[in-house]
Amino acid sequence: MDKQLETPKWLAHYALFTACFTFFLIIAGGMVTSTDSGLAVPDWPLAYGMWFPPMVGGIFYEHGHRMVAGVTGILILLLNLFLWKNESRLWVRRLGQIMLLGVVIQALLGGLTVILLLPPQISIAHAMLGQAIFCLTVAVAHALGKSWQGNTNSLQTISESVWRMCLSVPILVSVQLFLGAYYRHTGAALMPHVIGAFAVLIGICFQNYYVLRFAADMKPLLRMSMRLLLFVCLQIGLGLVAWMKPEWPSMVTAHVGLGALILAQSVLAAWTAGRCPRKTVSSPASSVA
């Protein structure tokens, strides 16, 4: 069980700002692919031999994405320094280190996508790692916030089945995000991505059912589960619009951004469930007796 720790408010706010800016980076990166601007700047790390080229056409999206990525890297580096100076929990500092390592790898992958002329494998890895880094920033912000430190003594017992269901959802969402990235970067068949979307919807519906049935008193988990259901319904709607109107890059990118929010929320829900003491309840039928 975690100890009650005093985290400086400014550090919690800074971590939250870093998470929000990382989400903005995902949007900026999504616009690069949605506008087909991946090779608008043919060199890296410079742009046509300059640090600040004319921001016109596809250069605006591609080099703008690089600039946002640079600021994000600085924010995450500073967050690590602040964590090592002000945060006593080693595991939180370790999360920050992993996040920073991910940023370094992400920058290298971004450079390789340009140098190697957008190979799908590297582009997909770049997209997936960006999602993982965003989840790490959200996790650190959550661990520093009041919602984490304020409910340590009020965690309630939940069933093992609730925990397993909550754990399965981020796995389903991760697979679905991979299928989406594969479709975006290869132009492969859309059907696996569609099937994955409904698998995620079903998984989140089951999570809500289990939480309502066995952990309704665990209000933070209940709110997260219901928020997930709302997000995934909106996501399916955005997906339909993006499919019917691929010439609308903002809609396609919004679909990508909401996918990142769904993943982060599902990770937080699984993490919240994992912190709770658990009792074994194998199925809904077992609770009837």
Q: Give pLDDT tens digits for 61-101.
A: 999 999 999 999 999 999 999 999 999 999 999 999 999 99
The Cβ of residue 274 has, within 10 Å, a number of other Cβ atoms equal to 12
- pLDDT at residue number 120: 94
Q: How confident is the model at residue 2 (pLDDT cuts 50, 70, 90)?
A: very low
In 3D space, the residue among 188, 187, 169 whose CA is nearest the CA of residue 232 turns out to be 169
3-state secondary structure of 278: strand
User: Considering the entire predicted model, what is its pTM?
Assistant: 0.91
Which range, of 1-5, 96-100, 124-128, 214-218, averages the lowest pLDDT?
Answer: 1-5
Mean pLDDT for all residues in the chain = 90
Go through the chain and tell me how many residues it has: 289
3-state secondary structure of 159: strand
97 torsion bin: left (phi>0), alpha (psi -120 to 50), beta (else): alpha
**Residue 217 pLDDT > 90, yes or no?**
no
The Cβ of residue 212 has, within 10 Å, a number of other Cβ atoms equal to 13
Give percent above pLDDT 90 in the chain: 73
- Tens digit of pLDDT for each residue in 187-212? 888 999 999 999 999 999 999 999 99
3-state secondary structure of 152: helix
Ranges of CATH 1.20.120 domains, the chain: 154-283
- pLDDT at residue number 46: 85
Strands (E), the chain: 158-159, 278-279
The Cβ of residue 168 has, within 10 Å, a number of other Cβ atoms equal to 15
Q: What separation, in Å, do the N-terminal and C-terminal C-alpha atoms of the chain show?
A: 32
**Residue 149 pLDDT > 90, yes or no?**
no
- pLDDT at residue number 280: 63
Q: How confident is the model at residue 158 (pLDDT cuts 50, 70, 90)?
A: confident
**Residue 273 pLDDT > 50, yes or no?**
yes
Q: How confident is the model at residue 29 (pLDDT cuts 50, 70, 90)?
A: very high
Under 8 Å CB-to-CB from 121, ≥6 apart: which residues?
A: none
**Residue 150 pLDDT > 80, yes or no?**
no
**Residue 263 pLDDT > 70, yes or no?**
yes
Give percent above pLDDT 70 in the chain: 92
Q: State the Cα–Cα distance between residues 216 and 268, nearest whole angstrom.
A: 17
**Residue 284 pLDDT > 70, yes or no?**
no
User: Quick check: 113 and 184 in contact, CB under 8 A?
Assistant: no
Q: Give me the mean pLDDT over the 221-250 stretch.
A: 93
User: Quick check: 166 and 228 in contact, CB under 8 A?
Assistant: no
268's tokens = 């937080």
Q: Write down the CATH number for the domain with range 154-283.
A: 1.20.120
User: Quick check: 286 and 157 in contact, CB under 8 A?
Assistant: no
Residue 192, preceding peptide bond in cis (omega within 30° of 0): no
The Cβ of residue 260 has, within 10 Å, a number of other Cβ atoms equal to 22
Only one residue has tokens 């087909």, namely: 36
225's tokens = 């589960």
